[in-house]
Amino acid sequence: MKAIVVGAGGATRELLRRLGEAWTVTVIDTSEQQLEEIEGINPISTVVGDGTSRLTLQRSGLAEADAVVAASNDDEVNLEVCRLAQKAGVLRVVAIASSPERVSSYRRIGVTAFSPDSLVSRHVELSLEHRRYTSMAFADGRAEAIEFRLGHDSPIIGKALKEINAEHFIIGAVLRGDELIIPHGDTVLRPGDRVTVVGLGVHFPEIVHTFTSGEARFPLNFGKQVGVVLEEEEDLTGPVAEAAHFVRNSAADSLLLIHRDPASLNDGDRASRLNDLLERSSKVTEGVEVRRLAVVESPYRILADICRQENVGMLVHPPPRPGPLVGKLRAQKLVLLSRRAGVPVLIARGSYPYRNILVPARQTLSAKAAERAAIDMARFMHSDLTGMAIVDPTFVAGEDSYEEARRAIGWLKQEAAMQQVSVQGKIQRGNPVRSFLEAGAAADFVILGAGKGVARPFEYAITTHIVYWSPKSLLLVPISE
């Protein structure tokens, strides 16, 4: 993510020391000497110029900025910088009040401001780094207590405290929902936990990295295997090949090949064709660990049960066959399959490798489940990731909906930054199905939330329409508990 800081004074120096690796920072100041002094703190870009100049801000990357910090020693300069950043639609605008009595001036224009310098750097840091809640220095500034929120992608999720290399810090408390836990060595950390960590100030970067970094885990939070049905008519270039590709390029450890037991087929020719397919499938799945599961009935009838019994983390399924009514009913059944089985379902249309991934940006549990999977896949596959927020026309939704869309894209960018994944955010007004399908035409892979629960018969939701009409491979991700 990109931040622009106007002013190269003491607060900026402290802020640069504390910001995480996810931030790319440009500092603007009229003093070349001050800019030279801060260049050695962290890799940054510097611009000599007037921060109140719209042209200077634009040349510094204002259009792409996720945050602007007004930190000069002149409050009038800072206030003008904040106004320009707000007009440009920057999501986070934070200021450092040169005079404490001017803090109210910033509040009147809707900007958070802090003072003095030492307190400022800590609060600005917390405003930008969304996985930290509070930070407090003590022991003459040598130690620090920090509260972190653990994300779903944290590398320490699922680990007991005794398994974490905690040479330079201790975890003093864990807030899990409304329950305060005094942890011990066997306490296992979970997503959403708020943990209070105490450590030496000199080890601050190491502590921050341990608790805020992310790692690609999908589909391990659902299961270790990718399941796919081998049909008797399979040409081995469809779902099986795409499933093998996914295993090679994700955290999944193996492929579960589900098929009819040839011995259960009364037709000898069918049994012979199936045995031949099983023999030839080894070429398509070369380099992938494969486990076969033979069943005596149609595999599609028992897929949900198989997922629950076999540690399946994702299913790969052929697309619904064309048909105005039947096709959409089958598309809806795929959405319901993901919900009932409790695992993602990949609808294979052969658009891999997935160089460009599209995901909706919304502030709902279903959308966030899809976004987390999209971030993981973009990290594993080195793909471009686009988050698209679709807003109804103004006369229907009002102006507030645009602000909600900006916040949704901001959340996606923050989560992705934890895994060093960059996100291109798009906001578009119009019909959600048409807009998303048009954007999906330029992508290789589409990821949607499957929701939770059972839909009513003939409930053709937006997701169902996109599943049916999308020409690209598409992943449905249910809400995990």
pLDDT digits (tens, 9 = 90+) for 347-369: 999 999 999 999 999 989 999 99
Query: What is the extent of the structural domain holding 447?
Result: 356-478
The one-letter amino acid code at 348 reads A
Summary count for the chain: helices (H), strands (E): 16, 21
Last residue of a domain, one of 93, 113, 128: 128
Instruction: Tell me how far apart the alpha carbons of residues 302 and 321 are, in angstroms, rounded to a whole number.
Output: 20
Instruction: Give me the mean pLDDT over the 339-350 stretch.
Output: 95
Residue appearing with tokens 């992705």 = 416
Q: Are 122 and 136 part of one and the same domain?
A: no
At 410-429, the pLDDT tens digits run: 989 988 988 889 999 999 98
pLDDT tens string 7-27: 999 889 888 888 877 889 999
- Report if residue 325 sits inside a domain: no
pLDDT tens string 167-225: 788 888 999 989 999 999 899 999 889 999 888 867 777 777 777 777 888 999 899 99
DSSP string, 242-262: HHHHHHHTSS--EEEEEEE-G
Same domain for 195 and 239, yes or no, is no
Residue 465 sits in a domain of what CATH number? 3.40.50.620
Residues 103 and 198 in one domain: no
> In this structure, are 63 and 28 located in the same domain?
yes
18, 101: one domain: yes
Total Cβ atoms within 10 A of residue 253: 15
The structural domain count of the chain equals: 4
The verdict on residue 322 lying in a domain is no
Write b or e for each residue in 442-475: b if 16 or more Cβ atoms lie within 10 A of its Cβ, otherwise e. Answer: ebbbbbbbbbeeebeeeeeeebbbbbbebebbbb
Helix ranges (H only) for 46-158 are: 54-59, 75-87, 103-108, 117-128
pLDDT-derived band at 71, boundaries 50, 70, 90: very high
Q: What is the DSSP letter of 345?
A: E
User: Does a structural domain hold residue 394?
Assistant: yes
Residues 6 and 118 reside in one and the same domain: yes
Residue 448 CA: distances (Å) to CA of 190, 316, 354: 24, 15, 15
Q: Do 362 and 462 fall within a single domain?
A: yes
Residues 270, 232: Cα–Cα separation, whole Å: 7
CATH number for position 141: 3.30.70.1450
The residue out of 109, 128, 147 marking a domain boundary is 128
In this predicted structure, the answer to whether residue 62 has a pLDDT above a threshold of 60 is yes
Tell me: do 138 and 166 sit in the same domain. yes
- Do 181 and 155 fall into the same domain? yes
